[in-house]
Structure 1
C-alpha cells in the first residue's frame, strides 16, 4: 500500500514538473526564470516527512541518509530512480526538455532527472543516444561548477553514479586502452594519463590489465617525431608504476637496456639527466637556505622576547 502511495505521489511530482516545463515553453519572457526555479526545486533537500511519503522499498539505488557525508537527500535522486522504474512517467518531460534544449538550465535539469535513465533504459537509436549524452555531459559540468562555486555537495550522488556505476564497471574499462591510443593531442593525453590513477586498487580483468599494460608501455618508447614526447613518456611511466607496481624495477632495467642499443638517444638522455640533477640540486640548496633562514629568524625572535 505504501509503495503504491509513493508511486502516486511521484507521478504527481512528475506532472508538476511537466506543467512547469509547459509553462516555460509557452512563456518567452519568463522562460529562464521558470527553468531556474524548476532546477532549484528538484535540487531541494527532501525533509523527513516527504521522504517517508515518496520513497518506496524499491529505492535500492539511493544511499541511506545516515550513510551520507552531509546527510542530504534531494528530490532529483528519487525522481531519477522513478524514471528508470517507470520510463513512461518521464517520457513527456523528456520531450519538453528536448524542445528547450538551447535554454539555460535545460541540460542541468536533464542531467539530474535522467542520468540513470540514459544508461539503464533502452534507447531508440545511436543518434538519440549521442544527443542525450552530450546534454548529460553539459548538464553534469554545469552542476559540478555550481557545487564548486557554492562549496556544497548537493549533486554528489550524480558524480558518484557516473563514476561507480558507469565509468568504472568492467565492461567499460576494456575500452580505456583503445581510447588512450586514439589521443594525439599532448595536453589531452597527459590529462587522461593523470586521471587514470583512479584505477589504482581496482580488480581489473586479466585481458583488460594486459591491454592496459601494453598500451601504457607503448607510450614509454622514445623516438622521432611520431613517437611520444618526453612529458608523455614520463607520465606513462608514472601511471604504469602506480597501477602495476609488481615488476616495476625489471621494467625500467629492460627499458634502459634497450635504450643502450640505440646510441643516437644517448646525448639527449644524458642532457636531460644532467638538467634534472642540476634542478634537483638547485632546489635542494634553495630549500636548505630558506629553512636555515627561517630557523635563524625564529631563534632571534624567541631570544628577543626572552630579553
Structure 2
C-alpha cells in the first residue's frame, strides 16, 4: 500500500494510507470569494423555494453550475497560492493514469462545508423543504458528501435521512457520468470508496441500512470509475459485517450484472 500525502490544516504534509492511491489535498484559504459562492447557492435554493413555477429550471441550473470546472484564476483565489492552480496541490484526486483532473466547483463546496460546517446550517433546511424535487438529492450529494461523513451528528434519524439522500443523489450522478462516458464526478466516487466505505470506523457510525446502500452503490460503479486491477484490492478490503447479507464478491457480481442489464436496456431503447 502506498503512502499518500495530504496538506493538513497546519500546512504541513500529513501521511495517510488510502488504498494505494496518492491523494494530495490543500485546505481552502479564507476568502470573500468563497463566501460569495456559498451565498449564491443559498440564494438560488431560496429562490427555487419561493417560486414554484420556476423551481425545476432553477434547480437544474444550480446542478449544472456546481458541476462546472474551476478555472485557474478562481483556483488561485480559493486556495491562496499559484501552486494551487496547477492541479498538484488542489483538492482533486489523482486518476488511474497518474494525472490530476481539474477541480470542479462541487469539490470546493464539499471541502468548504467540511471545513466550516456551521455554514451549512442555513442551507440544510432549504434542502429539507425541497427534498422531493428533481436535482435536489444530486445537489445535496455533491455539496455535502464530505460534511455528511466527516462531521459528527448525534441524531441517528438525521444520519439515515441524509445518507439516504446521498445514495439516491450519488447514484443518479454516477449514472449521468456513465451515460455521457465521462468521469466528471470521479472525485466523489473515489472519496466514497477510499474514505468512507473502506474506513470501518467512519462506515460503522452510520445506520445499518445506510451502510448496505453505500456498499451496493460502490459495487455498481466500481469498474466504471476504477481500473480492473483495483478489483482485487476492493474485494480484499471490503468491510465485512454480519449485517450485510452478501459477501463482497457476491454483492459485486450482483450489482454489476444489474448495471450491465440496465445499460443494455438503454441501448435497446436508443
Normalising by the smaller structure, the TM-score range is 0.5 to 0.7
Aligned to 2:91: 62
The 5-angstrom pairing of residues 1-307 of structure 1 reads 6-56=30-80, 62-63=91-92, 69=99, 71-171=101-201, 200-201=232-233
Residues matched between the structures, number: 200
* Conservation of the 8 A alpha-carbon contact between 1:111 and 1:139: yes
State the Cα deviation string for residues 279-299 of structure 1 (Å, max 9, x = none): xxxxxxxxxxxxxxxxxxxxx
Q: Looking at CA atoms only, which structure, 1 or 2, has the larger radius of gyration?
A: 1
Aligned to 1:185: none
* Conservation of the 8 A alpha-carbon contact between 2:63 and 2:135: yes
* Conservation of the 8 A alpha-carbon contact between 1:6 and 1:53: no
- Cα RMSD of the aligned pairs, angstroms, is 4.1
Alpha-carbon distance in 1 for matches of 2:33, 2:183: 26
Aligned to 1:279: none
Q: CA deviation at 1:171?
A: 3.5
Structure 2 gaps, min length 5: 1-26, 224-228, 254-270
Distance 1:115 1:5, change over 3 A: closer
State the Cα deviation string for residues 227-250 of structure 1 (Å, max 9, x = none): xxxxx99x77xx9xxxxxxxxxxx
Alpha-carbon distance in 1 for matches of 2:231, 2:101: 28
SS at match of 1:29: helix
TM-score (norm 2): 0.62
Task: Select the structure that is richer in helix.
Answer: 1
State the Cα deviation string for residues 177-202 of structure 1 (Å, max 9, x = none): x99xx9xxxxx9xx89x99x966347
Alpha-carbon distance in 2 for matches of 1:10, 1:155: 21
* Conservation of the 8 A alpha-carbon contact between 1:101 and 1:107: yes
Distance 1:151 1:88, change over 3 A: same
Alpha-carbon distance in 1 for matches of 2:134, 2:157: 23
Aligned to 2:258: none
Q: CA deviation at 1:81?
A: 0.6
Alpha-carbon distance in 1 for matches of 2:110, 2:196: 15
TM-score (norm 1): 0.55
